[in-house]
Amino acid sequence: MLIERWKLVQDGLTGAFRTDRLGKDYREQTVLGPLVYENGVHNGTRWQQNRNGITYTFTNYHERDAIDDRAFTSRNTTDVKLIGEAIDENAYVVQIDPPFGRLEWLFIDKRNGQVVRRERIERHTRIVTVYDDFKSFDGVLEPSHVRTTDSLGNDREQTIVSRVLDSTPDLADIAIPPSRPFVEFPAGTSTVKLPVRFINGLCIVRVLVDGHPFDFLLDTGAAGIVIDSSLADALNLERYGNRVGATFGNFDETTAIVPSLAVGPLRMRNVVVRDLSLTFRPDEKTRIWGLLGFDFFADTAIHIDAERGIAEATAPAAFRPPLDASEETVELDDKIPAVTTHVGSVAARMVLDTGANRTLLALDFANRADLGDRSTNVARFRGVGGLASGETAHAAALAIGSLDIGGVTVDISSADFGTEDVDGFIGTDVLHDFEAWFNYRDNAVYLRRKPR
């Protein structure tokens, strides 16, 4: 087993990065202060454990890097080209740009053939990784220092501490770790009604933050639990690190740990949250102070019925899917529920987003899809990074898996959605016609059409 230990500096924090690798299996752990995150592959299954200790598996539909790697090793001169030299690095510059991959450039040292710099485009961001201080290990040159920066200003730096081969490996070091209990149900209770109300199609849930009531959005489109920075200030929470994110614009964020969150009788303790500025109001009387996203959904099964104004949470072990609902597979690669859809005859991957009340398509997908004439009216919508704008069009036919939805009005935008390889978001303008049961443990959503 190859075991590497690195010193890590990231987001203004100093910590450690560990890798254990045996064949195709590996397990990586990042520790930054009290924040711990793990990911890996075990027997072909990809997994992550987030900073709240929730472990989940996923399919990995993000194939752009793998497509680039295959293009580079295939020596396909159509997709891989020598475009010049870099004098400072004394390196050849190779451009890789295969169909369905990503645009990137490798800087290859003329003397030893090692990649000393990699530049790539992810979404709207340029990411640069520099490899240096190469040392021979088991007959192969390996970098002892790696630094990654991006055009948003984020920085990650790794410096090797030790690199060894273990001839008597402990298989537990590459095993998938169990989830820690996160959402606590009352003793003897497996299903509870959540304190919610619906405003403009959105599910607003009352959350007690250290005993104080605040309105949060019950949001499948949020990849974690988020609180507004002013709330973190009022609670005098300690912050950990700083970075810049991008969703409909750039935003500053940090991380905090909330001692207690409660949703009705449900309890969560020592909750790691993203801390950023939220300015969203679903109406003039209601301010949103946080987003209740992936971590909450991952440790419960959530039933939402907007027509009856209810939302319920069930302990995953006690959940039984409704027999008369359509089951659709969700992919949770980005901790948001992506489903296979069709817009007309064109296949798409779209996110079921309870935090959006309008359906949105990416511009590049909309240009391929079966859409009617686009309106000259400007559509405006909000994300955590601010306001974005786009066009409006009519899709004559939308299908979610096996469910035919019919014609829908969609917004179209070239804005940064905050994720790759997703063609759009299905909002509550469509979902309000269904009862929905989200069961992340089984990578499934169940949709039952309401009678008209």
Position 123 scores a pLDDT of 83
Position 195 scores a pLDDT of 98
Please tell me the distance from the alpha carbon of residue 371 to that of residue 313, in angstroms, as a whole number. 37
CA dist 284 to 79, 288, 306, Å? 53, 11, 20
Query: Is residue 288 within 8 Å of 280, Cβ to Cβ?
Result: yes
One DSSP character per residue, 80-113 reads EEEEEEETTTTEEEEEE--TTS--EEEEEETTT-
Position 383 scores a pLDDT of 75
The one-letter amino acid code at 407 reads G
Please tell me the distance from the alpha carbon of residue 15 to that of residue 156, in angstroms, as a whole number. 11
Position 418 scores a pLDDT of 81
Tokens standing for residue 125: 């961001």
What 234-243 contacts at long range (C-beta under 8 Å, 24+ apart), as own/partner pairs, is: 235/209, 235/210, 237/275, 239/275, 240/13, 240/32, 240/33, 240/34, 240/35, 241/10, 241/11, 241/12, 241/13, 241/32, 241/33, 241/35, 242/11, 242/12, 243/11, 243/152, 243/154
Helical segments of 310-409, H only: 363-366
Within its chain, how far is the Cα of 175 from the centroid?
23
Query: Is residue 150 within 8 Å of 127, Cβ to Cβ?
Result: yes
Position 385 scores a pLDDT of 74
One DSSP character per residue, 233-285 reads HHTTPPEEEEEEEESSSEEEEEEEEEEEEEETTEEEEEEEEEEE-----SBTT
Query: Is residue 85 within 8 Å of 93, Cβ to Cβ?
Result: yes
One DSSP character per residue, 29-58 reads EEEETTEEEEEEEETTEEEEE-TTS-EEEE
The pTM score is: 0.93
Please tell me the distance from the alpha carbon of residue 424 to that of residue 366, in angstroms, as a whole number. 9
Tell me the average confidence (pLDDT) per consecutive run of 10 residues in the chain, 452 residues long. Answer: 97 97 96 97 95 92 89 88 94 95 96 96 93 94 97 96 93 94 96 96 96 97 96 96 90 96 98 94 93 97 96 97 94 94 93 94 88 76 76 91 91 84 94 96 94 74
Position 107 scores a pLDDT of 97
CA dist 104 to 125, 143, 317, 324, 355, Å? 12, 20, 45, 48, 33
| Residue 255, Cβ density class (10 Å: 0-12 exposed, 13-18 middle, ≥19 buried) | buried
Position 270 scores a pLDDT of 97
Q: Which residues make Cβ contacts (< 8 Å) with residue 70, sequence separation at least 6?
A: 98
Query: Is residue 131 within 8 Å of 119, Cβ to Cβ?
Result: no
